[in-house]
Amino acid sequence: MTLPQHLVPSLAGVTAGEVVTVEGDEAHHAVVVRRLRVGEAVTLADGAGVVATGEVSAASKRSFDVVVTELASVEEPAPRVTVVQALPKGERGELAVEVLTEIGVATIVPWAAARSVAVWKGERAAKSHAKWQSTAREAAKQARRAWHPEVAPLAATPDVIGLVGAADLAVVLHEGAREPVGALAVPDAGEILVVVGPEGGLTDEEVAGFVRAGAVAVRLGDEVLRTSTAGVAAVAALLTRTSRWG
């Protein structure tokens, strides 16, 4: 069984034998909820590729100390995967973020598509974005990721078109597409971008704009997946064609 992971702001400059203190909500959950105790082994991650292994040497309700025994610097997985996720309704947004994080996506971009039922505006936008960030953080710890994903600010369609143009491979999931995702030539480095539409589907204008910018419209199969699960299915299909999974 792998050791539990806890997130710290930075592990830069830390060496074996040093003590790292974990504080705040992260420590409170570990000590009070999960009942972390002195002597237990844990891993610490800064979300930027450094992972420390160590033993808990002291614990209180709002903090605990870890004596570092080993440090590892992990290269960021390649190719990087970005998923543009149209805003789903209800809690399906958090579900999408959770599974995309678990599968290893580097960046998740919330997108206000033309047919998105959910709307992020004002205070609701800030709260919803924070919830996606929190979901990604917890899912990354659960998945024991060395590199934690970024949840980008809310994007409009012109922003997504710009991301498509900058990617080494950009795909847009569309049930009316003829090309299957399994037929694509997938790069083993660089940036892969996957665009996932909303419950009501993509508009013709959105698809045309993405294709003009360089995206390939693909289908996953005969089944129509929910927006909260289509992204993870597409990323899995693509990653099997790379050295990350191949």
Task: For residue 131, give the amino acid letter.
Answer: K
Whether residues 84 and 62 fall in one domain: no
Domain presence at residue 246: no
Query: Cβ contacts of residue 129 below 8 Å, gap of 6+?
Result: 110, 120, 151, 153, 154
Whether residues 114 and 205 fall in one domain: yes
- pLDDT(1) > 90: no
Whether residues 129 and 227 fall in one domain: yes
Q: Of 73, 89, 109, which residue sits at a domain end?
A: 73
The pTM assigned to this predicted structure is: 0.94
Q: What is the pLDDT of residue 223?
A: 87
Helix axes 92-103, 227-239, angle to 10 degrees: 10
Sheet holding 107-111, edge to edge: 150-151, 107-111, 80-86, 191-196, 169-173, 216-218
Domain presence at residue 230: yes
- pLDDT(85) > 90: yes
Report DSSP state, residue 154. P
Domain presence at residue 244: no
Read off the pLDDT of each residue in 91-107 and give the average, rounded to a whole number.
97
Confidence category of residue 105, pLDDT binned at 50, 70, 90: very high
Q: What are phi and psi of 156, to 5 degrees?
A: -100, 170
CATH code of the domain in which 31 resides? 2.40.240.20
Q: What is the pLDDT of residue 222?
A: 87
Whether residues 119 and 222 fall in one domain: yes
Distance CA 62, CA 32 (A): 9
Distance CA 187, CA 238 (A): 9
- pLDDT(240) > 80: yes
- pLDDT per residue over 168-216, tens digit each? 999 999 988 999 999 999 999 999 999 999 999 999 999 999 999 999 9
Q: Which long-range contacts (CB under 8 A, 24 or more apart) does 117-123 make?
A: 117/87, 117/88, 117/89, 117/198, 117/199, 117/200, 118/87, 118/88, 118/89, 118/90, 118/93, 119/87, 120/87, 120/154
Whether residues 150 and 32 fall in one domain: no
Whether residues 103 and 33 fall in one domain: no
Domain enclosing residue 66, as ranges? 5-73
Whether residues 47 and 152 fall in one domain: no
Q: What is the pLDDT of residue 67?
A: 98
Read off the pLDDT of each residue in 67-83 and give the average, rounded to a whole number.
97
Domain presence at residue 223: yes
Q: What is the pLDDT of residue 224?
A: 85
Q: What is the pLDDT of residue 98?
A: 98
Read off the pLDDT of each residue in 219-232 and give the average, rounded to a whole number.
92
Distance CA 130, CA 205 (A): 30
Average predicted confidence (pLDDT) for the chain: 95
CB atoms near residue 158 (< 10 Å) = 8
Q: What is the pLDDT of residue 90?
A: 85
Whether residues 84 and 196 fall in one domain: yes
Q: What is the pLDDT of residue 197?
A: 97
Domain presence at residue 245: no
Whether residues 179 and 90 fall in one domain: yes
- pLDDT per residue over 33-72, tens digit each? 889 999 999 999 999 999 999 999 999 999 999 999 999 9
> Residues in the chain, how many?
246
Q: What is the pLDDT of residue 121?
A: 93
- pLDDT per residue over 139-169, tens digit each? 999 999 999 999 999 999 999 999 999 999 9
Helix, strand and coil content of the chain, in percent to the nearest 5, comes to 30, 30, 40
Whether residues 140 and 53 fall in one domain: no
Whether residues 34 and 110 fall in one domain: no
Distance CA 52, CA 73 (A): 9
- Number of structural domains, the chain? 2
Whether residues 48 and 115 fall in one domain: no
CATH code of the domain in which 196 resides? 3.40.1280.10
Q: Of 23, 41, 73, which residue sits at a domain end?
A: 73
